[in-house]
Amino acid sequence: MAIYAIGDVQGCYDTLRRLLDLLHFDPARDRLWFAGDLVNRGPQSLQTLRFVSGLGQAALSVLGNHDLHLLALANGGRKGKRDTLEQVLAAADRDQLLEWLRRQPLLQESPGKDLALLHAGLPPQWDLPLARRCAREAEAVLRGPDYAALLREMYGDQPDQWNAQLEGLPRLRFTINCFTRLRYCDARGRLDFGPKGAPGSQAAGLLPWFAVPRRRSSTTTLIFGHWSTLGQIHWPQHRVYGLDTGAIWGGKLTALRIDDGELCAVDSPQYSSTD
């Protein structure tokens, strides 16, 4: 059995199927871990959701910002100008698909390995046990009867720094922002959601979240997506893999075989523009 972690699909279903063909993926034998953002910006979000959810125990996806945005839209949220989610929202099976999506994790760990999958990042103050605890808190609300209230309140950049005394919606918003939006923070762990470019392009004082000195999760290998401009997949000195290689922008869709670190990728058409 092989476990493959796959970067942001964002509705690029045809590209995903070509990648799985290249991997000789067998759902009876192998497992797929998606790094979040299964949907949006690309043309085939509905097909992607139906396919991945239909794999049952052979696949899971950690939640990304676009996945949560879809759930928010379905509960009365505001549509973005570049959203391509109409087919999902109008589908006869939308309720089953959205129910499956909101039950996906924010953090997935590999049994027996110091390795975990998430969509965006972790603040430097969190070790893996604390990250796990915060993920489970937010997941419980997203899977519970009051999830729509959290989806309405999750937007916003505050609080922007971890404090163990955080509770309620501020704590949940901070957790969701880290797991689904984080790229840069300062050395004290204050989050900055403005810059989205490659490391080296950010303002003075900001660091990629994984490069902050004395980051408490640094003993765990972390696999993430979200950052298509990262410019490098494997950062061995920080024990991280960034698998979003810009499939939606005409880049590649990339898979990492967890057992041995082998990478495999296929080219993708450009479905969306950064303009």
pLDDT profile of the chain (275 residues), mean per 10: 96 98 97 98 97 98 98 94 96 98 97 92 98 98 96 96 97 98 97 97 97 97 98 97 97 96 95 63
pLDDT at res. 275: 47
pLDDT at res. 119: 98
Specify whether the CB–CB gap between 245 and 266 falls below 8 A.
no
Q: Is residue 248 part of a domain?
A: yes
236-240: which pairs have CB atoms within 8 A and are 24 or more residues apart? 238/210, 238/211, 240/210
DSSP 224-240: E-S-TT---SEETTTTE
pLDDT at res. 273: 60
Give the chain's domain count. 1
- Packed helices 168-181 and 128-142: angle between N→C axes, nearest 10 degrees: 110
For residue 103, the one-letter residue type is R
Q: Is residue 272 part of a domain?
A: no
For position 121, which CATH number holds? Answer: 3.60.21.10
For residue 234, the one-letter residue type is H
Specify whether the CB–CB gap between 151 and 68 falls below 8 A.
yes
Q: Is residue 144 part of a domain?
A: yes
Give which of 60, 167, 165, 65 is closest to 121, Cα–Cα: 65
Return the bridge partners of 59, or none: 32
Rounded CA separation 242/222 (Å): 9
Look up the pTM and report it: 0.97
Q: Is residue 214 part of a domain?
A: yes
pLDDT at res. 252: 98
For residue 227, the one-letter residue type is W
Q: Is residue 273 part of a domain?
A: no
Averaged confidence pLDDT in the chain: 96
29: phi then psi, degrees, rounded to nearest 5: -125, -40
**Burial track 187-220 (b if 16+ CB lie within 10 A, e otherwise):** eebebbeeeeeebeebeeebbbbbbbeebbbbeb
If phi over 0 gives left and psi between -120 and 50 gives alpha, with beta otherwise, what is residue 168?
Answer: left
Domain that holds residue 243: 3-267
Q: Which two tokens stand for residue 181?
A: 């939006």
Rounded CA separation 266/20 (Å): 10
pLDDT at res. 111: 82
- CA-based torsion, 87, 12, 19, 69: positive or negative: negative
Q: Is residue 87 part of a domain?
A: yes
Specify whether the CB–CB gap between 223 and 110 falls below 8 A.
no
Q: Which two tokens stand for residue 237?
A: 């000195």
Rounded CA separation 272/266 (Å): 17
pLDDT digits (tens, 9 = 90+) for 199-227: 999 999 999 999 999 999 999 999 999 99
